[in-house]
Chain A
């Protein structure tokens, strides 16, 4: 590593910290119906939407009604995206004349975009028409992110309010987060990206003659608009198969830097919004610190692993599959951010990371996608770990554990455990299944422990709603499309439903006032504890599987054996 690399990383972190309160405060105003700068611009549209849909924006719902609305909305989105893929050949905006998508791939893709996973078993430019990409996938990119925010908002209200059933209005939350947060940021960001050279057109694919004299088809399309939201909404589904390693998605070092920052921007800012809404920005910064420390720790280990001497290349770095234009540091910074934030976009192939940095990417996902995590999802996932931490550690101060004045009882613990179990069940059971049966093994391109890592990564990615792939695994088979699709559903709603139940139960509780006997959740001791609990729960669950995948691969690499 050279000085330039360090400067870039520091700049990245400083910008992230600096933007968090700015955007966080803006979102606080948006979600709480306060005056903000976008109301003069888009306020009429919000009113129009409510008038058109008949939503009474002031009417609040209990957790069951809120959740039901959310589930219905997602179900409709899923059915719509599923159908337009099945019939895309008959639909407009299909200049490349792409055929209808297979049913299992269509299932997988619509689940994937609805759940904010954006796992792509297909190659975008050779499978999906512009119509499906724009009307189906890009729309889901917005609303799946907005869904995550809505769940978080309901949870925050449950924590901050007392003795009430009201957790807000799902439709209002959905509209406001899309209209005032995701849309303006995406438009701004796509304009910047177009300025950097990202394509945005409806042209047919161009055929050019290469220097070698052969013919090459250059895909075109409305890429910039989808890339903006895929980064900002922690979606990650690339317009092109190569995702942000494709020069049309990510043309310059500046676009690369901004796209990386966009991955973490909203999840980070939401911690500030959280703090404001629960009445203590310290609480928000505490969570932010936990996330940042875990991110930097993962990044450091990955960078060390990539730059370390290895017996095969000596001091040469493992450049195969990396983002060769921007270098190792930018590949690793991206891989760490995208896996931590449940984004899933890539600018380098994770398959080509060193075993240890590949493992870090995998661990980032396995820990529950709480290191910034998905938009909304990362933070509500973090609250689950906070509940467990508060419960275990809170007992040690001699009081029934409480968080922000709310007592943590059996119901909350039960729901938190379900939320922790859901993704882990997917990862362990499906990966174990895939690693012993023919349909699972036949998709592998690599043998040895690396193959096991590919399988583990795929299911982690699905369960964590991340969407990035270790590549090297042909996932567009019926087996993988279905199991990964189911995995994504469990990983998404297996957390959302218990989180909503917790929100409902917390809202009904009284708030115990702060005293010297209260277990503090806004100091450095709590930061250490929370990090400890996240690592121990994730680590103990996945240590055996990881030791047979990346760990043994790393040890073998040091003996000069690769796969």
Chain B
């Protein structure tokens, strides 16, 4: 997807489309979904009517007209913010749609191949795909193995292997088979395939309000009602004050002024940006190549406080590496390295390769031409549990070198009438205790020494876990290793807890336990046996390489199949909630300044002497030019601030992994205190411009 190309925050095409959409969104049926902005829209309509009635009656008021224009702008700006957030998703959806051209599927009907349209496929149908075919719909490989180009959804051009049986059986509609032939059982109904859902999600078509968004909307509506009350009762208090000041009732507040006051007070900033924040949260996730099945999932990600992480791939590099040679007594380390390297030359496993690399790095033992050595390589088998090489020296003697587990080598040397020295056994035990895997090397009846194979903890992961701990998130490492090895790696990586020899049932049980204690659990998995745990977890991220079952069970799919993604997902969730909170605070804090602009402006004549300037002008702390310009400045500020904050809403507030308290202090200073001060400056500046 577009993620690999850097989509800039705005581009001309999206901006133009958003501008057009913000007008289309004036449709009352759409507008009513956002109560705060709906109030502004009603205000705009009323003001417009008043302006036109004024024109007809011959007392046109340019002040009313200006209020009217800016109220409309407020609505349009709010719509624009939503449109631009959606627009970015739409652009992505468009590129997805291109891949979903009308394909033909080769359906197997009673062992006969029938050509049908992909759209006619039903769940349970079997189709066949050969190299060059586009896979017509989501499904599971039931026969065969093939390499598949999934760049249409992942953006990754390197083909991936899909095969029946294992954990890599899921295929996605719209991807392309580039070699071999597979039989696929369709697992999704049309319209509900992975790509369909992706398109719906990025377009926001199926976007439902998330629980927190609903709660926030209720709060905003409640605040709007309070301000509505404060504003509708004002003419009554005014009429009392007018009669007490001996002024005529015709001086009472006009409807446009009341509407202006109301619009300034209700939380239009957050009201206008709320859906943009939600959409862009989904978008930010997408940029990290993670697809959430709902906005609810992203929100829950922010709440996760226990992460279950698989050791392999997440905490450690996928494979063990040789890090050291420990020779036996009377054996030089060079001899051990030489034998180990020789035994590993044809070993294509990552462990074997790492031995060759270590020997080269440490002892400069270069590769040799294998066939010139009269050597036969003995591959690893489950029965022998060792691998190695048989060779003939130039003198014509035969030798066998083997490397393997201590038990296997013990048997090997005994069979050759040798013995297994006690000090080697001690080294083996010691290494195992440290969490490493010892590999013993022997030549004929002599034990040469031990290769230290170690799990390599990923660089920077310890730092990452420390950050998570600061954020209050507990990390649990899951591994199939025994408790001793697991404990050693857990300590090195700095996780809070570990589960050794974990079965899928153990995982599920652990998740249930954590949840019963009030925790929210996040996990990432790929296999079919992970599916129950993925479904049980509050955030279950399935890897795209995983099985269809896992992808169905989780509520997010990571297209990169990168286990560390879980951490980023949590961050996106937190950032989303923070952005909402920050802009709500900002919006409410803004009201203080608006009161100080509007109240003295509308109440200036009350209890005034002959000069017409009453005592309440003392509240005009900003020293605004005139009552009209004061009201207008507040309304303009109120509209413009929405546009100014669109980038922030789309990008999210700056996120740092710090404790709750530090995050709060920082956001309070910026958005709380800043929210009080900014409008004083903004309104004053606008007022100066108006009065130029």
Contact = CB atoms under 8 A, between A and B. Distances in A.
Do the two shown chains form a genuine complex with each other? yes
B532 to A, nearest CB: 21
Interface stretch (B109-117, B446-454, B570-578): B570-578
Nearest to A447: B244
Nearest to B472: A517
Given A543-B599, A559-B615, A400 B241 contact: no
A399 B230 contact: no
Interface stretch (A136-144, A260-268, A274-282, A423-431): A423-431
B432 to A, nearest CB: 34
Contacts of B29: none
A513 B474 CA distance: 12
B211 A435 contact: no
A408 B222 CA distance: 16
B425 to A, nearest CB: 45
Given A520-B660, A552-B616, A399 B574 contact: yes
A556 B245 CA distance: 12
B660 A540 contact: no
A388 B219 contact: yes
Contacts, number: 224
A94 B528 CA distance: 86
Nearest to B672: A532
B215 A516 contact: no
Contacts of A518: 472, 660
Given A395-B581, A396-B667, A556 B607 contact: yes
B606 interface: yes
B391 to A, nearest CB: 59
A398 B577 contact: yes
B303 A519 contact: no
Interface stretch (B131-139, B147-155, B172-180, B231-239): B231-239
Contact of A424 (B211, B218, B226): B226
A64 interface: no
A17 interface: no
A22 interface: no
Interface in A390-437: 391-400, 405, 408-410, 412-414, 417-418, 420-421, 424-425, 428-429, 431-433, 435-436
Given A425-B229, A428-B229, A435-B236, A529 B517 contact: no
Interface string A504-546: 0000001111011111100101000100100011011111110
Contacts of B616: 547, 551-552, 555
Contacts of A397: 578, 581, 660-661, 663-664, 667
Identify whether the interface residues of A are mostly helix, strand, loop, or mixed. Answer: helix
Contacts of A542: 230
Given A396-B664, A398-B578, A525-B664, A540 B618 contact: no
A409 B211 contact: yes
A408 B215 contact: yes
A391 B219 contact: yes
Interface residues of B, number: 77
Contacts of A245: none
Nearest to A434: B236
Contacts of A547: 599, 603, 616, 619
Given A410-B211, A420-B222, A421-B225, A552 B305 contact: no
B229 A543 contact: no
Contacts of A516: 469-472, 659-660
B496 to A, nearest CB: 11
B16 to A, nearest CB: 33
B588 interface: yes
Contact of A540 (B234, B573, B595): B595
Contacts of A441: 240
B668 interface: yes
B215 A410 contact: yes
B236 A432 contact: yes
A559 B611 CA distance: 15
Contacts of B227: 540-541
Contacts of B239: 435-436
Interface centre among B233, B299, B303, B585 (most CB of A within 10 A): B233
Sort chain A's interface into a size bin.
35 or more
Contact of B585 (A396, A413, A525, A545): A396
Interface string B648-692: 000000010001110111011001100000000000000000000
Contacts of B595: 540, 543-544
Contact of A544 (B225, B237, B471, B573): B237
A418 B222 CA distance: 8
A525 B662 CA distance: 10
Contact of A395 (B584, B599, B659): B584
A399 B577 contact: yes
Interface in B567-598: 573-575, 577-578, 580-582, 584-585, 588-589, 591-592, 595
B669 to A, nearest CB: 11
A122 B285 CA distance: 66
Interface of A: 162, 388, 391-400, 405, 408-410, 412-414, 417-418, 420-421, 424-425, 428-429, 431-433, 435-436, 441, 447-449, 451-452, 510-513, 515-520, 523, 525, 529, 532, 536-537, 539-545, 547-549, 551-552, 555-556, 558-559, 561
11 contacts: A392-B585, A395-B584, A397-B581, A400-B212, A410-B215, A417-B222, A420-B226, A436-B236, A511-B518, A537-B226, A547-B619
Interface of B: 211-212, 214-216, 218-219, 221-222, 225-227, 229-234, 236-241, 244, 265, 299-300, 302-303, 305, 469-474, 516-520, 573-575, 577-578, 580-582, 584-585, 588-589, 591-592, 595, 599, 603, 606-607, 614-616, 618-619, 655, 659-661, 663-665, 667-668, 671-672
Given A410-B214, A417-B225, A544-B231, 11 more contacts: A391-B219, A392-B585, A396-B671, A398-B575, A417-B219, A432-B236, A513-B305, A525-B661, A540-B230, A544-B230, A555-B615
Pick the 9 closest A-B CB pairs, nearest first: A517-B472, A395-B581, A398-B574, A417-B222, A515-B472, A555-B615, A432-B236, A432-B233, A396-B581
